[in-house]
Amino acid sequence: MSTIATAPADLSQAMLWSSDGPHLDAKVNLQAAHQNKGDRLQRREHARSVIAGFCQFLDQDRLTSIGFPTAYDLDVTDLLPLMGYVLNNIGDPVAQGSAFPAHTKAFERQVVDWFARLLAPDPRKVWGYVTSGSSEAIGWALLQARSLYPHAVVYHSADAHFSVSRWAYTLGLPAVSIPTDETGVLDLAALDRAVRRQARRRQWQPPQVIVVATIGTTMTEAVDDVAAITAILDQAGITRRYIHADAALSGIPLALLPPQLRPPFGLADVDSVSVSGHKFLGAPIPSGVVLTHRAHMDAAARRIAYVGTTANTLLSSRSGHGPVMLWYALLIEGEEGLRARADHARRIANYTVMRLRDVGVWAWRHPHAMTVVLDRPADEVIQRWHLATSGSISHLICMPRITTAQIDAFCDDVAESVRLRRRRAVR
């Protein structure tokens, strides 16, 4: 077995920890702490000890955490002074005025403007805000779509994020899951049949349709074809429609490709688009950005007197720290730095595919993807390397922080597990 993730002696206790295990549950038990840790000063010392131990566990865990789309390489030490402040971006980031003065809407507007320049033909005609993540952004988009088309049916791929169907249910919108092909891409023929069936019904005429296109599915990083989806709606005569692009992981890397390689999913192609901030950018607080056409928002604006702003966001109180972290990441990296991060991630992903095939394991990736899909390995490999697994396949995601040394260690573990399995089969 590989040794890359073997804990040094001073971290041996940290390896007993687990983010969801009984050891940590006991350590952070508030009732026990108040009963056994004496006065306020002693409890503070206990808290420092617990946090230090947890940080040791997290540092060690990073070495083998390759199954989920998190970049750990954004150093936000410069932002630590802000942690002493309550920052609340309540309401619309664009509307002037707020009854709560400690907000970071100036930073938020800059973040939205950066994404608008990346994803829209005319940034001046874009409205957006920083969300708590793509799940909130999807909810906001479906709520916006429902306000335009209250009798719409939501179509999404079977590999879309689970929050799509959950939000549709919450909002009382009927949802249809469309099958995908073997690589996770939405089956266009199946979508065409489903949309035409709806168009033939007479309950609501003309028919109203909402489509959530996934730009990088969770398991295979598949990209739904927005241009083909639009053509299907055109051919079916669906004019009352709303398309949202969920580009949580892949939005930034794909948007930075040369124009001839870039798939269509920006605001020239869809009604709204969302991107995560804690995935490719590596913000340590879950966050995201949702953008839409400003024209969609003008009729929906509603001013709330006691907070001194308009209520266009899904949530009322919103983190003011998240926008600053995204602003900081975009400032430090810049467009060229982010493009280099994406190129590095793709090189590592390509290297991973070749290494896995070298050890006899079938692996593949979509063009331009950071995600490598492989035949499901042994359970101990899945657990050790935190691989996301569905049925007969697993995946790892070569985020910008991943190194060839980590990939070599992972492939060594996979190869060893294959050898052990073969020996057991011979016996």
The average confidence (pLDDT) of the chain is 90
How would CATH label the architecture of 82-331?
3-Layer(aba) Sandwich (3.40)
Q: What angle do CA 337, 340, 346 make, to 5 degrees?
A: 145
The Cα 281–Cα 289 span in angstroms is 12
Q: What is the pLDDT of residues 377-404, one digit of tens each?
A: 999 999 999 999 999 999 999 999 899 9
Note the Cα 223 to chain centre separation in Å: 14
Of 327 and 11, the structure prediction assigns the larger pLDDT to: 327
The Cα 147–Cα 301 span in angstroms is 12
Q: What is the pLDDT of residues 11-28, one digit of tens each?
A: 344 445 565 655 777 778
Number of Cβ atoms within 10 Å of the Cβ of 211: 29
**What pLDDT does 241 receive?**
96
Q: How is residue 154 written in tokens?
A: 């939501």
Q: Helix/strand/coil (H, E, C) string of 248-279? A: CCCHHHHHCCCCCCCCCCCCCCCCEEEEECCC
Q: What is the pLDDT of residues 329-378, one digit of tens each?
A: 999 999 999 999 999 999 999 999 999 999 999 999 999 999 999 999 99
Could you give the percent of the chain with pLDDT greater than 90?
Answer: 74
The Cα 19–Cα 60 span in angstroms is 12
Biggest CA pair distance of the chain? 76
**What pLDDT does 352 receive?**
98
The Cα 393–Cα 214 span in angstroms is 20
Mean pLDDT value of segment 309-321: 85
Whether pLDDT at 327 is above 80 = yes
The Cα 379–Cα 284 span in angstroms is 29
Q: How is residue 321 written in tokens?
A: 């720290």
Number of Cβ atoms within 10 Å of the Cβ of 3: 7
Mean pLDDT value of segment 110-117: 98
Q: For residue 228, which of 188, 180, 277, 281 has the smallest C-alpha distance?
A: 188
Q: For residue 209, which of 223, 199, 222, 200 has the smallest C-alpha distance?
A: 199
Q: What is the pLDDT of residues 217-240, one digit of tens each?
A: 999 999 999 999 999 999 999 999
Confidence grade of residue 98 (pLDDT, cut at 50, 70, 90): low
- Is 144 buried (19+), middle (13-18) or exposed (0-12) by CB count in 10 A? buried
Packing angle of the helix pair 321-358, 404-426 (nearest 10 deg):
50
Model pTM score: 0.91
